[in-house]
């Protein structure tokens, strides 16, 4: 199908296009220079045209997500989706079922989503769910930092072999990148313990979190992976942890050479100043200062949205703390030789002091970090809020008035401690396009995504907003409404949603990195690892690997490693 | 002769993945590493097979073509106003994915055998969560293993050698370094190899679990005995649980199906959860059929609920007791059934089985069962894990790929392919 999107206000930051009136031509699923012949024209006059949304951190598929669904039947009853001629039925709210997840992302103009943490041993499950998430392209990050074979290698400083092993894993399980979750702490959680600083020892490996982060950062470069290491820091969700965050960012400063080498995820959860929940305050200024001065890190928000959430992370010890505080239902699910997972339902309340501070930290950070290319919009779905709340976040960022409306209702003591009320910055559409698509695609190293240049994937979102007429600062409700239901979502050159409704059900691709590792190194590493592997795991190495034909639409990214 | 290594055994929830199979002329001639249950499956899967689709016409079965059987099935399903689709624990996730779509399309109820085995386990988790892990954590770390109301030496014979008592882990290497406790109403085979056997009065699991929880949290119990167990023994066990480095409680149908059902599971989960204040403790259900865990997972990611899902309103609705098939059948509400890889006639209460036999049943199964005998349509299928590939989930949720190792009999296709044909006919493709 050929499509011509006519006369829209185009926001394409990767190509430095800031609201120019332009036509966008599409043919064979790609953006092209021009089209002729039989062309479907879309009149985008007085509308905004952006690349399709790219979410770089969301929990949408896999064993932990499914355990979250299982845990909360009460959550499903209030949000059901009927079957239609086009859509499968499902349930929504905090942990939507697979089909519903795909539709809802698509209806908001999103076209690519990264599942942010998947244990390698259970990645076959993740792919099975990704196969059942329609409409969007997707990929998954592999939790590798507490993997015993990785730790064994790192502690001996055998980085090349470790890199070869990680390259093998990513190929074998069709993963996209290296996810780090509470390095060392999650391994100790196997015994019910945790680490407190990035220099704590992790027995019996004789290694510290600092060494794990640094080792994996080096390996990420050796493998030449498209995305940097993706770090969930130690001490997540603990008062005073903004220091751990800054320490963790600092610890890779010498590995940068000016390039970006680290992505820290859901920073709101690690931006806490103070010594207890009573003295909790925001560490946003300190973090933003560091990030503004050090160009080698990117962040995403994990913005709190008041209301129901289901917290789920591979950070088992953190989830246990949350369970102990909230006494809500608690699932823990450790994965042999690799990682852990915890799930606790949670409700963020405006009148709660801690929750209000948490809410302000995310927004303060986004407003204080000067470079939008290095801070991205997420809610760590479904941890801090739901992905369906993104339009709300956009409104908060674009409108001080929208923020003030909430500020009137939050806990008074919390409000008195915030700097948020003093922040005047309001994001522009251009900046919103960066933090929701251009920047995230760039950070993920997805070269054909997040922009509308010739040759890019024809993933486009059109929003019914006239940037010349509306003032987002005042009309934030209109902004919210428009981003909630895209006028058009175009995926791979097909119109898949119209006026926020799915009009065609398609299946997206699953990206994974196919890293080439020098053959000799690969063979020697695998033969060295095999015995250990079968000693540590309960499955055979051969059966751990996932065949490409288990992916509904496999999209390998060929990577030439630096090994 | 051809040898295939690392085959996954598709018999019980252990999904042992180290099986070696020798094949000659498309026949399995030798199998290594299985237990006797697995061995007998691999060596006997080709006995008592159904080789032709058939339809009951008046009283007699008549062999028909696959297309004819599919047409009849589609007719039965589309004429029904409240059909049920049941089974799934002995087939692949891929087959169930199609089954889900069929159930949704015809507005029926889809349920799996969890309904009649570990349903209470799931309800227990839905009420309070659980602290669990994969089996490898137990193998590598556990110095205390408790089997409660389960007898793995009979039901999951390699559970102990691969994952628990007799396995070699990174941190705990030998049987000597582990304490094994069995709680059961009689001295089972597993009990006889345990360090401690606690014989409990039938149907009093809840009492014993509560007493243990009390002992763990508060110390001394006032009575002399609970559930037929002297208090000293209870306190000794509580102390063992608190002071171990990594404990694992593995429970079976002895706990899920004794009076109290999901309350028993809740008590067990609560005990394990409390123990995490002092040490690391996990709980794991001993799932029977090789892919009942997969069935729960597929149903859950598709609909949000792990079993007993009713699509009659056009969206998933779940209420065990109302939407579980045993209850629907007992109330006489369903008017057609599609049974896949399961034998409800042998497992349902007699009254329900009688009611089920009154409605048209379509059964997809590789071999004869009491259910195929009373079906209106029978469509033979191939064995997943022997004649067809597919995904299954081990009892702890570890997904594994089942291999195709020999060809199925002529004309026999898989559940997945049969269901795809039914779906496409129902859709009118
Ligand atoms: S324990 Fe179960 S899976 Fe393992 S060989 Fe025996 S029957 Fe097969």
pLDDT digits (tens, 9 = 90+) for B92-151: 999 999 999 999 999 999 999 988 887 888 989 999 999 999 999 999 999 999 999 999
Which residue stretches of B32-92 are H helix?
Answer: 36-44, 66-79
Angle formed at CA B161 by CA B157 and CA B166, multiple of 5 degrees: 130
Which band of pLDDT confidence, cut at 50, 70 and 90, is reported for residue B220? confident
- pLDDT at position B23, please? 97
Contact B188, B289 (CB under 8 A): no
Q: For residue A205, give how far its alpha carbon lies from the nearest alpha carbon of chain B (Å).
A: 12
Say if residue B330's pLDDT is above 80. yes
Of B137, B397, B400, the CB nearest to A539: B400
Sort out which chain B residues have CB atoms less than 8 A from A65's CB and list them: 301
Give the pLDDT confidence score for residue A175 in this predicted structure.
Answer: 98
Are the beta carbons of A281 and A200 closer than 8 angstroms?
Answer: no
Ligand 1 centroid to residue B386 C-alpha, Å:
14
The per-residue pLDDT for range A2-25, each reduced to its tens digit, is 999 999 999 999 999 999 999 999
Place of tokens 């428009």: A482
Those residues with Cβ within 8 angstroms of residue A520's Cβ, 6 or more apart along the chain or in another chain: none
Distance B135 CA to ligand 1 centre (A): 14
Q: Which of A559, A353, A399, A460 lies closest to A53, judged by CA?
A: A460
Query: What is the per-residue DSSP string for A290-308?
Result: HHHH-TTEEEE-----SEE
The alpha carbon of residue A221 is apart from the nearest alpha carbon of chain B, in Å, by 31
Helix, strand counts (H, E) of chain A? 20, 26
Q: Quickly list DSSP for A500-528.
A: TEE-S--B--EEEEEEE--HHHHHHHHHH
Q: Report how far residue A415's alpha carbon sits from residue A79's, in angstroms, rounded to the nearest whole number.
A: 32
The per-residue pLDDT for B335 is 96
B244 alpha-carbon distance from chain centroid: 30
d(Cα A534, Cα B169) in Å, to the nearest integer? Answer: 10
SS3 A42: strand
pLDDT (0 to 100) of residue A3? 98
Going by DSSP bridges, is the β-strand pair A3-12/A17-27 parallel, antiparallel, or unpaired?
antiparallel
Is residue A318 within 8 Å of A379, Cβ to Cβ?
no
pLDDT tens digits, B260-308: 788 899 999 999 999 999 999 999 999 999 999 999 999 999 999 999 9
| Calpha distance B89→A63 (Å, rounded) | 18
**Distance (Å) of CA B305 to CA B297, B320, B378:** 9, 10, 29
* A-B Cβ pairs (cutoff 8 Å, strict): 181
Percent of chain B with pLDDT over 70: 100
Residue B349 — pLDDT band, cuts 50, 70, 90? confident
Tell me the chain B residues in contact with residue A71 when contact means C-beta distances shorter than 8 Å.
Answer: 125-126, 129
Which of B17, B136, B246 minimises the CB distance to A543? B17
**Residue of B40, B41, B155, B156 with the most ligand 1 atoms within 8 Å of its CB, for mutation:** B156
* CA nearest to B246 within chain A: A191
Contact B184, B41 (CB under 8 A): no
Angle at A359 between CA A357 and CA A365, to 5 degrees: 95
Q: Record the tokens describing residue A483, joined without a space.
A: 């981003």
**Dist CA A147 CA A126 (whole Å):** 18
The verdict on A86 touching B (C-beta cutoff 8 Å) is: no
pLDDT score for B377: 97
Name every residue whose Cβ is closer than 8 Å to that of residue B401 and which is 6 or more positions away in sequence: A124, A543, A546, A547, A550, B8, B389, B390, B391
Comparing alpha-carbon positions, the chain B residue that sits nearest to A86 is B105
A158 phi, psi to nearest 5 deg = -90, 75
Predicted confidence band at B350 (pLDDT cuts at 50, 70, 90)? confident
The pTM of this model reads: 0.97
Q: What number of residues does chain A have?
A: 563
Tell how strand A48-51 and strand B60-63 pair up: unpaired
Return d(Cα A483, Cα A468) in angstroms, integer. 17
Which SS3 state, helix, strand or coil, does residue A140 take? strand
Kindly give, in sequence order, each residue whose CB lies less than 8 Å from that of residue B58, ignoring residues fewer than 6 positions away. none
Q: Which residues line ligand 1 (CB under 6 A)?
A: B 9, 11-12, 14-16, 34-35, 37-38, 156-158
Q: Kindly report whether the peptide bond that precedes residue A249 is cis, defined as omega within 30 degrees of 0.
A: no
Structure-token pair, residue B111 = 């349920």
**pLDDT of B247 higher than 90:** yes
Q: What is the distance in A from the centroid of ligand 1 to the CA of B39?
A: 8
pLDDT at A497: 98
Strands (E), B229-279: 229-230, 246-251
What residue's CA is closest to ligand 1, atom 4?
B16
Pair of tokens at residue B16: 């042992």
Output the pLDDT for position B119: 81
Residue pair B128/B270 in contact by the 8 Å Cβ criterion: yes
Of A63, A128, A331, which is closest to B391 when you measure between CB atoms? A128
For the stretch A492-544, pLDDT in tens is 999 999 999 999 999 999 999 999 999 999 999 999 999 999 999 999 999 99
Q: Which residues of chain A have pLDDT under 70?
A: none
Q: What is the dihedral of CA A500, A502, A504, A505, to 10 degrees?
A: 140
Q: How far apart are CA B351 and CA A510, in angstroms?
A: 49
B400 vs B388: CA distance, rounded Å: 14
**DSSP letter assigned to residue B174:** S
Mean per-residue pLDDT of chain B: 95
Query: Given this model, what pLDDT does residue B58 score?
Result: 82
pLDDT at A43: 98
| ipTM above threshold 0.95 | yes
Q: Which tokens sit at A536?
A: 């540590």
B344 CA: distance to closest CA in chain A (Å): 25
Spatial CA neighbour of A306 closest among A270, A346, A267: A346
Question: Which of A88, A122, A332 is the closest to B132 by Cβ?
Answer: A332
User: Which pLDDT value is given to residue A375?
Assistant: 98
Q: How far apart are CA A334 and CA B239, in angstroms?
A: 24
pLDDT given at position A263 = 98
Say what the pLDDT of residue A48 is. 98
Please state the φ and ψ torsions of residue B66, each to the nearest 5 degrees.
-60, -40
Q: What is the C-alpha to C-alpha distance for residues B364 and B416, in angstroms, rounded to an integer?
A: 10
pLDDT digits (tens, 9 = 90+) for B65-79: 999 999 999 999 999
d(CA A33, CA A25): 6
User: Count of CB atoms within 10 A of residue B423's CB?
Assistant: 17
């Amino acid at each position: 199908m050929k499509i011509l999107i006519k006369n829209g206000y185009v926001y394409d930051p990767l190509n430095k296009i800031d609201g120019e009136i332009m036509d966008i031509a599409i043919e064979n699923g790609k953006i092209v220079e021009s089209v002729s012949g039989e062309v479907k024209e879309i009149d985008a006059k007085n509308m905004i045209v952006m690349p399709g949304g790219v979410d770089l951190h969301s929990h949408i598929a896999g064993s932990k997500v499914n355990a979250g669904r299982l845990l909360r039947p009460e959550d499903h009853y209030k949000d059901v989706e009927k079957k239609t001629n086009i859509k499968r039925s499902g349930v929504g709210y905090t942990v939507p079922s697979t089909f519903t997840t795909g539709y809802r992302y698509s209806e908001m103009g999103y076209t690519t989503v990264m599942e942010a943490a998947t244990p390698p041993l259970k990645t076959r499950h993740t792919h099975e769910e990704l196969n059942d998430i329609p409409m969007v392209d997707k990929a998954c990050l592999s939790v590798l930092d507490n993997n015993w074979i990785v730790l064994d290698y790192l502690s001996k400083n055998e980085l090349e072999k470790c890199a070869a092993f990680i390259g093998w894993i990513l190929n074998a399980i069709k993963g996209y990148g290296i996810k780090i979750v509470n390095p060392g702490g999650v391994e100790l959680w196997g015994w019910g313990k945790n680490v407190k600083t990035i220099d704590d020892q992790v027995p019996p490996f004789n290694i510290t979190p600092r060494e794990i982060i640094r080792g994996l950062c080096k390996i990420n470069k050796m493998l030449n992976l498209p995305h940097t290491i993706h770090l969930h820091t130690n001490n997540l969700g603990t008062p005073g942890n903004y220091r751990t965050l800054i320490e963790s960012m600092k610890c890779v400063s010498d590995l940068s050479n000016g390039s970006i080498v680290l992505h820290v995820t859901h920073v709101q959860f690690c931006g806490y100043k103070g010594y207890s929940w009573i003295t909790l305050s925001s560490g946003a200024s300190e973090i933003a200062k560091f990030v503004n001065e050090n160009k080698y890190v990117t962040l995403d928000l994990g913005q709190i949205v008041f209301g129901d959430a289901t917290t789920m992370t591979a950070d088992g010890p953190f989830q246990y703390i949350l369970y102990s505080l909230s006494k809500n239902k608690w699932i823990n699910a450790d994965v042999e030789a690799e990682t852990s997972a915890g799930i606790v339902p949670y409700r963020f309340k405006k009148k709660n002091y801690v929750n209000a501070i948490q809410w302000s930290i995310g927004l303060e950070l986004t407003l204080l970090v000067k470079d939008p290319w290095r801070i991205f919009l997420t809610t760590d779905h479904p941890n801090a809020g739901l992905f369906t709340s993104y339009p709300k976040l956009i409104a908060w960022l674009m409108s001080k008035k929208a923020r003030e409306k909430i500020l009137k209702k939050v806990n008074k003591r919390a409000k008195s401690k915030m700097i948020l009320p003093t922040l005047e910055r309001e994001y522009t559409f251009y900046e919103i396009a960066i933090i929701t698509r251009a920047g995230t695609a760039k950070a993920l190293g997805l070269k054909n995504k997040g922009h509308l240049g010739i040759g890019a994937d024809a993933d486009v979102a059109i929003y019914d907003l006239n940037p010349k007429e509306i003032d987002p600062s005042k009309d934030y409700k209109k902004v919210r409404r428009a981003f909630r239901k895209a006028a058009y979502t175009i995926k791979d050159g097909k119109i898949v949603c119209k006026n926020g409704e799915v009009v065609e059900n398609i299946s997206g691709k699953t990206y994974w990195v196919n890293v080439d590792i020098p053959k000799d190194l690969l063979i020697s590493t695998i033969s060295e690892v095999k015995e250990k592997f079968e000693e540590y795991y309960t499955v055979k190495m051969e059966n751990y690997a996932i065949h490409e034909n288990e992916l509904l639409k496999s999209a390998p990214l060929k990577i030439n490693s630096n090994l | 002769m051809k040898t295939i290594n690392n085959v996954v055994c598709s018999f019980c929830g252990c999904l042992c993945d180290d099986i070696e199979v020798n094949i000659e002329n498309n026949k399995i001639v030798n199998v290594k590493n299985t237990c006797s249950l697995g061995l007998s499956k691999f060596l006997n899967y080709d006995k008592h097979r159904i080789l032709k689709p058939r339809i009951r016409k008046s009283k007699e079965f008549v062999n028909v073509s696959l297309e004819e059987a599919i047409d009849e099935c589609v007719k039965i399903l589309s004429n029904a106003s409240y059909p049920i689709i049941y089974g799934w624990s002995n087939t692949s996730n891929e087959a169930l994915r199609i089954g889900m779509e069929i159930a949704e399309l015809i507005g029926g109820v889809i349920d799996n055998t969890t309904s009649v085995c570990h349903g209470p386990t799931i309800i227990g988790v839905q009420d309070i969560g659980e602290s669990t892990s994969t089996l490898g954590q137990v193998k590598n770390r556990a110095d205390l293993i408790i089997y409660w109301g389960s007898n793995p030496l009979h039901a999951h014979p390699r559970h102990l050698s691969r994952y628990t008592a007799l396995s070699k882990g990174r941190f705990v290497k030998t049987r000597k370094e582990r304490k094994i406790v069995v709680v059961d109403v009689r001295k089972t085979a597993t009990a006889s190899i345990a360090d401690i056997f606690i014989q409990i009065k039938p149907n009093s699991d809840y009492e014993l679990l509560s007493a243990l929880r009390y002992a763990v949290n508060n110390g001394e119990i006032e009575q002399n005995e609970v559930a037929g167990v002297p208090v000293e023994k209870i306190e000794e066990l509580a102390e063992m649980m608190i002071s171990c480095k990594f404990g694992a409680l593995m429970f079976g149908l002895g706990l899920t199906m004794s009076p109290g059902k999901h309350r028993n599971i809740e008590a067990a989960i609560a005990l394990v959860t409390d123990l995490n204040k002092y040490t690391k403790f996990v709980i794991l259900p001993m799932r029977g059929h090789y892919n009942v865990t997969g069935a729960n997972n597929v149903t859950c990611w598709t609909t949000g609920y792990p079993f007993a899902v009713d699509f009659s309103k056009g969206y998933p609705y779940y209420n065990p007791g109302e939407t579980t098939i045993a209850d629907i059948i007992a109330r006489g509400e369903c008017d057609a059934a599609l049974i896949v890889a399961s034998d409800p006639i042998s497992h349902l209460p007699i009254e329900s089985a009688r009611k089920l036999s009154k409605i048209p049943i379509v059964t997809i199964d590789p071999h004869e069962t009491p259910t195929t005998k009373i079906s209106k349509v029978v469509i033979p299928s191939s064995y997943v894990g022997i004649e067809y590939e597919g995904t299954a989930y081990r009892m702890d949720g570890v997904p594994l790929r089942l291999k195709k190792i020999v060809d199925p009999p002529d004309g026999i296709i898989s559940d997945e392919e049969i269901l795809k044909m039914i779906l496409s006919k129902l859709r009118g493709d």
